[in-house]
Amino acid sequence: MNGFKFSRALAIAKKEVFHVLRDPFTLGAALGLPIFMVLIFGLAIEFNVKNIALAVSDANQTQSSRRLLDTFASSKYFILKHAASPSDAIEQLTSEDARAALIIPPDFERNLFAGRSANVQMLLDGSDSSTVAPVLSYLKSIQTIAGQRLANFNPTKPYQIQSRYLFNPELNSRWFVIPGLNVLIMGILAVLLTSLTVAREYENGSMELLLSTPVQPLEIIIGKLAPYGILGLIALSLIYIIARVFFGVPFVGSHLVFALGALLFLIAYTSQGLLISVTTRNQQIAMQLAMMTGMLPTQLLSGFIFPIESMPKFMQYVTMILPARWFMQISRDTFLQGTTFVELWLPFLGLSLFCITIITLSTRKFKRDLEP
């Protein structure tokens, strides 16, 4: 009875496997939900703002103004909509028929050929701040290209600055999003599924039989974590295949480094779910806590949507206790940058410390009695 025995942990794992096989919800959530989510979110999430409705009032109607409009249209970011007058363009912006308005004055070409400043006015809908910043960045590029087309611009300096994007040359949002979806989907599933395991035993009354056996708390914990960890690895493999085959996301790093990071992440979140289950002993409460501590922090504080570097210093330190923050870095860096294990020592250290801490807390919290 004393000491850890693998055979007893394996017996608990087999018991949990039989339960999973008899539970269509668990199998569907573990295998079907990741595929559904990565397809839907992979197609829907797009950080590059495109198809911006642009109301255009061209009072100049010259070859120069048409070249300027052609520059906007050829960028593929704007969809031009005719406006009869500046007031009509503003009306389209106010009524949300357009997200931006471009007003070209009557003297545009005359000022351009006279060497004076040829100004145009750009009005943006500031109610959606997520659109304004990308549009302003587009305008800088369009302004440069338009200047070259309209004035036959020749640089007087002996050099030109050219920008080049490394690791994601096309700035493809899916290359950035889908490696992050690995973390989001697996984090939600791991903590949600395991949060119900021990709580279900208490509610069904089977925990009393389990506690009457010579099985140790650590053996119960490992036995219950193992099947869900394997399910998580299978689901992660499906996500990887979809990312590579369906979305064409490159993988330039080490599969061994990625697999090790994924294993630590799954252990961390399954352990967290088990701690919730051991603490609450109620499936409904356990599910609510799992969503609050698993889904929301993983989505908002892991760097999936908001860069951690842009957060206040205090919140940056808070994110260090979240496994999702560390695996997010491992996933994206191995997919796109080919980062090595040595360069990722800090994320691996953070995941390892979290695993040790949560498993220790789960073991101590687990009591060999039915007292609440």
* pLDDT above 70: percentage of residues in the chain: 92
Q: Would you say residue 159 has pLDDT above 50?
A: no
pLDDT of residue 150: 67
Backbone phi, then psi, for 81, in 5-degree steps?
-125, 130
Helix (H) or strand (E) holding 273: helix 255-280
pLDDT digits (tens, 9 = 90+) for 172-221: 888 888 888 888 888 888 888 888 777 777 777 777 777 777 777 778 88
Rounded-to-integer distance, Cα 43 and Cα 23, Å: 30
DSSP at 295: I
User: What is the pLDDT, as a whole number, of residue 273?
Assistant: 87
Mean pLDDT of the chain: 82
At residue 296, the pLDDT reads: 80
Q: Whats the size of the chain, residue-wise?
A: 372
What Cα–Cα distance (Å) separates residue 160 from each residue in 67, 137, 156, 157? Answer: 23, 19, 10, 8
pLDDT of residue 163: 61
Q: What's the token pair of residue 132?
A: 């304004």
Check residue 265 and give its pLDDT.
93
- pLDDT tens for 131-140 read 777 787 777 7
Pairing of strands 100-104, 78-82: unpaired
pLDDT tens readout for residues 348-359 = 999 999 999 988
Q: What angle do CA 353, 358, 360 make, to 5 degrees?
A: 95
Q: What angle do CA 77, 80, 85 make, to 5 degrees?
A: 140
Q: In the prediction, which pLDDT does 141 show? A: 77
Check pLDDT > 80 for residue 262: yes
Calpha distance 15→162 (Å, rounded)? 61
Which helix (DSSP H) or strand (DSSP E) does residue 124 occupy? strand 121-124
* Residue 48, number of CB atoms within 10 A of its CB: 11
Per-residue pLDDT tens digits for 250-260: 999 999 999 99
Between the CA of residue 328 and those of 106, 241, 305, 334, what are the distances in Å? 52, 18, 11, 10
CA distance 278 to 282: 9
Q: Give the start-to-end residue ranges of the domains of the chain.
A: 6-45+171-365, 52-151
Q: Which range has the worst mean pLDDT, 28-32, 158-162, 230-234, 286-290? A: 158-162
pLDDT at 29 over 80: no
Is the pLDDT reported for residue 146 higher than 90? Answer: no
List the structure tokens of 194: 């395991």
Please report the pLDDT score of residue 335 as a whole number: 92
52-151 to CATH, choices 2.40.50.180, 3.40.50.300, 3.50.50.60, 3.40.1710.10 = 3.40.1710.10
Q: Residue range 259-271: average pLDDT?
A: 91
- Using the predicted structure, report yes or no on whether residue 115 has a pLDDT greater than 80: no
Query: Phi, psi at residue 78, to the nearest 5°?
Result: -120, 145
Look up the pTM and report it: 0.76
Across the range 49-74, mean pLDDT stands at 86
Task: Report the first-to-last Cα separation within the chain, whole angstroms.
Answer: 25
Euclidean distance between CA atoms 75 and 55, whole angstroms: 16
Give the three-class secondary structure for 330: helix
Q: Whole-angstrom Cα distance, residue 137 to residue 130? A: 12
Within 10 Å of residue 103's Cβ, how many Cβ atoms?
20
Beta bridge partners of 124: 100
Confidence label for 66 from pLDDT (cuts 50, 70 and 90) = confident
Q: What pLDDT, on a 0 to 100 scale, did the predictor assign at position 177?
A: 87
d(CA 325, CA 311): 13
